[in-house]
Amino acid sequence: MLDYDFDESIGYWLTVTTQRYHRAFNDALVPYGITFRQSQVLGWLALEGELSQAELAGKMMIEPPTLVRILDRMERDGLIRRRPCPTDRRRKLIGVTAKAKPVWAKIVECAKGIRARATDGLTDRQQATLKKLLGRVHQNLLLTPPTELSDR
Amino acid sequence: MLDYDFDESIGYWLTVTTQRYHRAFNDALVPYGITFRQSQVLGWLALEGELSQAELAGKMMIEPPTLVRILDRMERDGLIRRRPCPTDRRRKLIGVTAKAKPVWAKIVECAKGIRARATDGLTDRQQATLKKLLGRVHQNLLLTPPTELSDR
DNA sequence: GACAATTCGTTAGCCTGCTAACTATTAGCG
DNA sequence: CGCTAATAGTTAGCAGGCTAACGAATTGTC
């Protein structure tokens, strides 16, 4: 039978919990017409000011091609602006528009609500533990996979 | 500024860790020509035998339309078979093909490897804690969102 | 027995992930 | 200076997530 317990796997719980989290977040954002990833873009821009696409992709831990289409939609909806970098003609600087600013205030409320809901019943210590354990798993998986004898 | 610490958010760690996990899993499965979700389908079928699509979607915690395309690809690749249910003409029973069986043995090895890598440095107690905390977050987010005054 | 409500699988349309490959530009080095 | 290498953004193509809406079949109810 070669059975393998998905229920017992960390990966299973990681998957279903994250899925649930994103769904809750996206549902909460529907009234404002944006998505989880779009809110994250606005979040980083609010924190850091203008960023290039590569920098933003780095902060969000996604690949640049993934970011391109997220930004395309946000630009289409008038939430962000792409501006050519004055010193490097390859780069484009991403900035928020005036239209996005009031949206951002709503998102912060939303995010706090979801976070509170997600961590309901968990003590501060437990939340810290959860983050620490997730951080360790993340770190473990960042390392290059143990391919037999890297050939370079 | 209305800043909101993505770094401090459970959602951030959930997102990046899960992404990393899926990427590691998919990378490891490339030699066998299948993906994480496809391996999960084979896993549940190995455990439970033939299942309808609705049952399978329930086990995998995804929506039926999402499953349809996953199964389409697996059927195209000859890994599974859709068989009309003899007692209910709406249902289709999903079963693995002979071609899929040797693949499944490989997947189990793979999955164990990834799981070991992900949990490297974590004690059994810490792994249990992680699963318990994830389970609680998942449970919290399953509840219907606190929409103001459900109107029915 | 007939009609309404429900369930099953599917399709269409949207958003998000990835890799590979391309163009344009900049950086590095002989 | 000039050529190679690296970098920034994009496109194309694939896989996976969702909701809304549909036809076919079954269930429930009067």
pLDDT digits (tens, 9 = 90+) for A43-60: 999 999 999 999 999 999
Give me the residues paired with residue B52 across strands.
B93
The residue whose two tokens read 């003609």 is: A89
The secondary structure of residue A82, as a DSSP letter, is: E
If you average pLDDT over each of A11-25, B44-58, B131-145, which comes out highest?
B44-58
> Alpha-carbon distance A100 to A40, whole Å?
12
| Band of residue A142 on the pLDDT scale cut at 50, 70, 90 | confident
The residue whose two tokens read 């997102």 is: B15
| A149 has a pLDDT exceeding 70 | no
Evaluate whether B117 touches A117 at the Cβ level (below 8 Å): no
Mean pLDDT value across chain B: 88
> Alpha-carbon distance A11 to A9, whole Å?
5
Mean pLDDT of A104-117: 88
> Alpha-carbon distance A112 to A95, whole Å?
24
Q: Which two tokens stand for residue A51?
A: 């960023």
| B146 has a pLDDT exceeding 80 | no
Q: Does B109 touch chain A (CB under 8 A)?
A: no
- Select from A13, A42, A16, A21 the least CA-distant residue to A105: A42
Mean pLDDT value across chain A: 88
Q: Which nucleotide is nearest to A72 (CA to C1')?
A: D10
Q: Does B45 touch chain A (CB under 8 A)?
A: no
Q: What is the Cβ-side half-sphere exposure of residue B81, based on CA atoms within 13 angstroms?
A: 12
pLDDT tens-digit readout, B57-108: 999 999 999 999 999 999 999 999 999 999 999 999 999 999 998 999 888 8
> Alpha-carbon distance B100 to B106, whole Å?
10
Name the architecture of domain A10-138.
Answer: Orthogonal Bundle (1.10)
> Alpha-carbon distance B53 to B58, whole Å?
8
- Partner residue opposite A14 with nearest CB, options B4, B134, B145: B134
Fold of B34-115: Arc Repressor Mutant, subunit A (1.10.10)
> Alpha-carbon distance B100 to B94, whole Å?
13
In degrees, rounded to 5, the angle at the alpha carbon of residue B25 between the alpha carbons of residues B19 and A19 is 35
Residues 6+ apart with CB under 8 A from B107: A4, B29, B32, B34, B39, B42, B43
Asked if the Cβ–Cβ distance from B114 to A28 is below 8 Å, we say no
- Identify the pLDDT of residue A144: 59
Which residues in chain B are contacts of A135 at CB distance < 8 A?
A: 13, 17
Evaluate whether A145 touches B23 at the Cβ level (below 8 Å): no
Least confident of A83-87, B4-8, B131-135: B4-8
Give me the residues paired with residue B83 across strands.
B93
What letters, b where the CB count within 10 A reaches 16 and e where it falls short, cover A45-76?
Answer: bbbeeebbbeebbebbebeeeebeebbeebee
ipTM: 0.84
- Identify the pLDDT of residue B106: 87
| A63 has a pLDDT exceeding 60 | yes
- Cβ of A72 near strand C (under 7 Å)? The reply is no
- Identify the pLDDT of residue A146: 45
Asked if the Cβ–Cβ distance from B137 to A61 is below 8 Å, we say no
- Identify the pLDDT of residue B4: 57
| B148 has a pLDDT exceeding 50 | no
Ordered by start, the domain boundaries in chain B are: 34-115
Residues 6+ apart with CB under 8 A from A2: B46, B104, B105, B108
| Band of residue B5 on the pLDDT scale cut at 50, 70, 90 | low
Which residues in chain A are contacts of B129 at CB distance < 8 A?
A: 129, 133
- Identify the pLDDT of residue B65: 97
| Band of residue A9 on the pLDDT scale cut at 50, 70, 90 | confident
Phi-psi region of A51 (alpha: psi -120 to 50; beta: other; left: phi over 0): beta
